[in-house]
Structure 1
């Protein structure tokens, strides 16, 4: 019996179906990285995944469905935010992960390809937004731990804080196309932390925690 097309994220298949889905995702990523969204075709995905194109059309609908499901599959991983015991070090580690994910040749192909596709496809943009919404939601525990340690006020907007860490990096990566490195990652983390300590991300009526004393020379 043929499967009807389903929205990404509504099914968690296993066995051969999972292997098929993974093979299709790999082909989508390879095609995006090598040829870009405009040149990627269902035929390319079929050839490089070993899945017949009629199956691809039946299960994913079209190319945008393939891209959206590839992003959905990426969001099913077990990623969790850093837990160093310090808000500053957690934010630094988070920033370094962002830099590595877009500059490490072994890791950069997939995220770069998906961002590029999001600029040209509304459905890819929606899928990318959902992916990062999930990522930032997972980071709430990072901020919750900081609140428990007294490093951040109760009611702080966790999503705004972690977005502030990533925003300067994404701006350079995808708007000005400037290089990013570890030093910039540290700068972004420290700037976001300074803003948090100044109360920039506090809920109305919340006060910022007392600033930490400077380290002794």
Structure 2
């Protein structure tokens, strides 16, 4: 029988602990980056034992990668509007909103400047590969709708689209807005479309 307490606290103790650890992980990363990140700090902030964290996540690197992916999936969902142009605009706008937040900036810097050790290379590779794999569904759907050529390189398109925002975040520290996202989308997408399609482009 489900108790009244369980009804008031959906997900149970395990879910609450996982959320506390995820929140603590993001906080420690934002404050210390990856180089000085420790599970000890996370455990102290989350109010749990280190052994509990290792038992569930296995390693510090797994904890970081899983937490970053879950956080980014929540803040940067993959849109499905029925049009690749509007899908890419919405995706890039979500990325821009994420990178404009203090924690988004901190996460971006942590991944970019975490060093060349193998463990951090794997975290970076796993994070970006998974995120790009999720977002490539936008291009796959567009190919099925014959909006873009069948040989469109989804990863290259997405990397080209997102790179200017990352550059501004990490290098120039310039702000960006929705208008920039729209212009970047048009610039990248029009570059892969046949010229006749570009001239007939319809704004959503």
Aligned to 1:6: none
Deviation (angstroms), 1:99: 0.2
Aligned residues: 190
Contact 1:36 1:116 in 2 (8 A): yes
Aligned to 1:113: 107
Aligned to 2:3: none
Unpaired runs of 5+ residues, structure 2, are 1-10
- 1:118-197 to structure 2, matched below 5 A, reads 118-121=112-115, 122-197=118-193
* C-alpha distance in 2 between matches for 1:61 and 1:210: 50
Contact 1:68 1:124 in 2 (8 A): no
* C-alpha distance in 1 between matches for 2:130 and 2:13: 27
Which structure has more helix as a fraction of its residues?
2
* C-alpha distance in 1 between matches for 2:153 and 2:15: 36
Deviation (angstroms), 1:152: 0.7
Unpaired runs of 5+ residues, structure 1, are 1-13, 199-207
How much is the aligned-residue C-alpha RMSD, in angstroms?
3.1
Q: Deviations 1:67-125 (Å, cap 9, x if unpaired)? A: 234235447769752222222211111111110111145xxx15732641452254244
* C-alpha distance in 1 between matches for 2:62 and 2:147: 42
* C-alpha distance in 2 between matches for 1:161 and 1:87: 12
* C-alpha distance in 1 between matches for 2:40 and 2:134: 36
Deviation (angstroms), 1:50: 0.9
CA spacing shift, 1:197–1:76, aligned 2, 3 Å: closer
Aligned to 2:4: none
